[in-house]
């Protein structure tokens, strides 16, 4: 059964990797699973038909037979658990890879998103100048700790896994702000992820939605 994911019909970044369907596309590409994409408008996302799939009226979603999932982390975990290539077979290594997925989503992503959203949406607020140093500090603290842990390793825990996919997916979204350049090993880590053929295919497929060659979109 070919899964169908949802993605933005129109996106402020014009398909340059900020929308979270990228990490789902990447996981599908890593395991070699063909997929279809249902593009959805901002207004349709808030309609009951989409909310039945995604209670918060967002993308991405994932449909496969009778299964409907939302949350990019849950979707990537589902893909990784049902197809070889993203989780180690050895139980302890597998548990650690899943731990890194949660760390990416629950610990690293929030301060980065908070900082990014403030830069994007709150710049005109009178309290922005006071708040921004705090948000910067939280983001730097998190990235500093991650950078220390990664050190000179290629991936977070041995072989590339869904943990790296999720962590790189999270870090990639902060790249345009320039903050990663302050952590050369993290910038190199993200670049290693971007260099993977599966990432390139996923990125190109998302971009193609906006350049008019969205091959698998309907
Ligand atoms: N926790 C959920 C997950 O991981 O799946 C979060 C899902 C989510 O934030 N979806 C966003 C969405 O549907 C798209 S990714 N937003 C619409 C809404 O809430 O109404 C966030 C995103 C995408 C693209 C840009 N951009 O282009 O600037 C910025 C943020």
To 5 degrees, how large is the angle CA 162–CA 109–CA 89? 15
CATH topology of domain 4-85+198-211: Glutaredoxin (3.40.30)
Instruction: Give me the pLDDT at residue 142, please.
Output: 98
CATH 1.20.1050.10 region(s) of the chain?
Answer: 91-196
DSSP 190: H
Q: What is the mean pLDDT of residues 44-70?
A: 98
Residues of the chain with CATH 3.40.30.10: 4-85+198-211
CATH number 1.10.3720.10 given to 91-196:
no
The Å distance, Cα 117 to ligand 1 centre, comes to: 11
Long-range residue pairs from 62-70, CB within 8 A, at least 24 positions apart, any chain:
62/3, 62/4, 62/5, 62/24, 63/3, 63/4, 63/5, 64/1, 64/3, 64/4, 65/1
Residue 215: its pLDDT value, please? 46
Question: How confident is the prediction for the chain on average, in pLDDT?
Answer: 96
Please report which confidence band the pLDDT of residue 212 belongs to, taking 50, 70 and 90 as the band edges. confident
pLDDT, average across residues 119-123: 93
Residue nearest to atom 14 of ligand 1 (CA): 19
| Cα-to-centroid distance, 144 and ligand 1 (Å) | 25
Cis peptide before 60 (omega within 30 of 0): yes
Whether 18 lines ligand 1, by a CB cut-off of 6 Å, is yes
């Amino acid at each position: 059964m070919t899964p169908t994911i949802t993605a933005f019909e129109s996106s402020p970044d014009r398909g340059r990797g900020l929308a979270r369907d990228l990490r789902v596309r990447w996981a599908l590409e890593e395991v070699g699973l063909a997929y279809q994409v249902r593009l959805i408008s901002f207004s349709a996302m808030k309609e009951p038909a989409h909310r039945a799939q995604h209670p918060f009226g967002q993308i991405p979603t994932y449909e496969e037979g009778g299964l409907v999932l939302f949350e990019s982390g849950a979707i990537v975990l589902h893909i990784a658990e049902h197809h070889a290539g993203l989780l180690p077979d050895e139980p302890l290594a597998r548990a650690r890879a899943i731990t890194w997925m949660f760390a990416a989503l629950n610990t690293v992503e929030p301060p980065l998103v908070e900082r990014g959203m403030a830069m994007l949406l709150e710049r005109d607020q009178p309290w922005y100048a006071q708040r921004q140093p705090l948000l910067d500090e939280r983001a730097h603290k998190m990235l500093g700790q991650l950078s220390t842990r990664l050190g000179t390793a290629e991936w977070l825990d041995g072989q590339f896994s869904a943990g790296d996919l999720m962590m790189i997916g999270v870090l990639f979204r902060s790249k345009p702000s320039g903050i990663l350049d302050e952590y050369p090993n993290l910038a190199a880590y993200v670049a290693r992820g971007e260099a993977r053929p599966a990432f390139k295919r996923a990125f190109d497929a998302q971009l193609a939605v906006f350049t008019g060659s969205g091959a698998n979109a309907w």
